[in-house]
Structure formats: structure tokens, C-alpha cells
Structure 1
Amino acid sequence: MLKVVVENDAFFDVMKIELQNGIKEVMFKVKGTSMWPFYLDNKTVVYVASPKQLRKYDVVLADYDNQVLLHRIIKIEGSTYTLRGDATYRKEVVDFKDIFAKVTHHQTNKKRSEQSKWYRLTVILWVNNPFRKILLKLRSK
């Protein structure tokens, strides 16, 4: 198998063009820990497509402050979306036009649909867990 390493900026620029030109799906390995516990650094592969319809708790790729974020939608108000990583505290507010892809599936051990009822329930429980901040602090120690 041929392995090619591409810088993130170049990869995401090409991805945006390909998704706009009709490619159905792009997959890549997650880098970073902001989406723990659902996505694991350098282990989880995500599959993304153009964002036709967005709902609260979807994971999206968005341009924010000169970088690309892979974060979860935690609030929608009109065309304004509030995003946050599952393992972060900071919130980012973006417009719909800044979102260029939506995660449809992810795979760490087995491929999982982002829309499955069980997975979405798990996400809702984690995002709204009153002890989430405490658990994140304990994890970072």
C-alpha cells in the first residue's frame, strides 16, 4: 500500500474542491484529542460528505480563525452554528457557509454511522453530562 502524507492545509483545500465538484465521500485519519472519547488521535478514521442537512450533535469540518476544525454542533440559531470539541471547553461560532463537510461515519475498531440512534444517545449523554468538565480534568492529570 502506498502511503502519502499531505499537509493539513493542502489536504483540506483539495477536499473542499472535490466535495464541491461532486465527490461523494472523503476519508481521513483524525489528528488530535479534541474529539475524545469518540475519536481517537491517529486511530479513528472519519468519512465526510458535503453538508446537505445539519442537526445538533453532528460533527462537521469548518473554517474558523484561519484553521480547520473537526468539532460537534452544540447549538443552532438560524444560520449560526456553535461548535465545540467533545474534550474541550472552548466554543466556536461559525456561519453555515464556513462548514464544508459533515462526518457521516467513523471507524476506530468497526465502522459506525453518526446517525445510529445508540451512537447519538451516547453523544447526547456525553455532551450534556454535568460531570463532563470534571471527567476531562481527571483525564488530563
Structure 2
Amino acid sequence: MPQDNIAIVEKQFPNDKFLPEVVRLLDEGYTVTLRLKGYSMRPFLENNRDKALLVKARDIKKGDPVLAEISPGHYVLHRIVDISGGTVTLLGDGNLTVEKCRTEDVKGSVTGFYRKGRDVMDRTDGMKWRIYSYVWTRLRPVRRYLLAFYRRIWMKVFGGAK
């Protein structure tokens, strides 16, 4: 039977209501595709444009992008910059300051991103992501200036997500 008349409806919910349900699904073994909200992973991931494919967090390591609960009901999708004992230090690619949580508060691991409306996923274990990660994480001392350039000049000249 043709399904040409099926309407796709996208609904938005507050993160404090929605993300605990995402975590529940991850705990049950499901994979979840999550539309990204916020600007903390700029310049390569944009608010309300890109999506992340999440699985339950296992064997996390430095450099992994993860979904973590940094305080009760407050979740972030950031990169792990350090794991020391039971403490995980996180930093969004578009952020200048770190956030911390416990190892058990890392709820999901990102296996890939769907960027710029593409149907093909950029895998986090792929060469493209690894090169980007290697370069961007080493630019941390000058990240403030690169992000300012991106927001104030690049976005105005080339457009894109606001």
C-alpha cells in the first residue's frame, strides 16, 4: 500500500522532560537520533540543524562526544577532555569552560552526526571526524578568537544557522 499521504510531524519538548526519556530508551538498548539544540558544539555542529545518533554509553574515553547529566535534569552533549578516577571533564567544542560529572552520569555515546541536512552520517570513528577532532582540540588556546571570528564574520558573510 502506498504511503504518500503520511504526514511527518516534528514536536519539540523541553530538555528536562525529553532527555530523561531518551536516557531511558538508551538504557533499554535502543539507538536514538537527537536533533541538536544549543551552540556548544559550534562551529561544526549547529543548533536545530544537525542530529546526533546516540547509543548507551560504554567504554568511554577521552575525545568521545557524549550525552551527560552534569546536574540533576541538566544534560549536555559535549566532548570528553579528561577522565580522572570517577570524574569526567567535558568541553563543548564551542565552549571555553569545562563542565564535570561522574562516570555514571555519562548516559549516551555519539556514534555519528547527520550534518547540514545530509542523509549520510559522519561517523565519530571515521577519518573525517578524527581529523577534525585532532585539529580542533589542539586549537583550544586560540579557540576564543576562532569562535568570535565564526560568529561575528563567518556567519554574517556566509549565512547559515543563527
Is the CA contact 1:26–1:48 (under 8 Å) kept in the aligned structure 2?
yes
The residue aligned with 1:52 is 58
Point out where structure 1 has 5 or more consecutive residues left out of the alignment. Answer: none
1:139 deviates by 2.9
Which residue, out of 63, 67, 91, partners 1:61? 67
Cα contact 2:53–2:112 (8 A) shared by 1: yes
- Structure 1 stretches (4+) deviating beyond 4 angstroms? none
Where does residue 3 of structure 2 map in the other structure?
A: none
2:144 equivalent in structure 1: 133
Contact kept, 8 Å, 1:63 with 1:98, in 2: the verdict is yes
Q: Compare 72-81 and 94-103 and name the one that shifted more.
A: 72-81
- Comparing 109-118 with 84-93, greater Cα deviation is found at 109-118
Identify which range, 13-22 or 80-89, moves more after superposition. 13-22
Q: Is the 8 A contact 1:57 1:120 kept in 2?
A: no
Counterpart among 10, 24, 32 of residue 17 in structure 2? 10
Residues 79, 95 of structure 1: 8 Å contact kept: yes
Structure 2, unaligned stretches of length 5 or more? 1-7, 153-162
Q: Using a 3 Å threshold, how does the CA distance of structure 1 residues 90 and 22 change in structure 2: closer, same or farther?
A: same
Match of 1:120 in 2: 130
Q: Identity of counterpart residues, as a percentage? A: 28
TM-score, length of structure 2 as denominator length: 0.80
Deviation digits for residues 96-124 of structure 1 (CA, Å, limit 9, x no counterpart): 11110111110113311011133112112
Bigger Rg over Cα: 2
For the aligned residue pairs, the C-alpha RMSD in angstroms reads 1.5
TM-score (norm: length of structure 1): 0.91
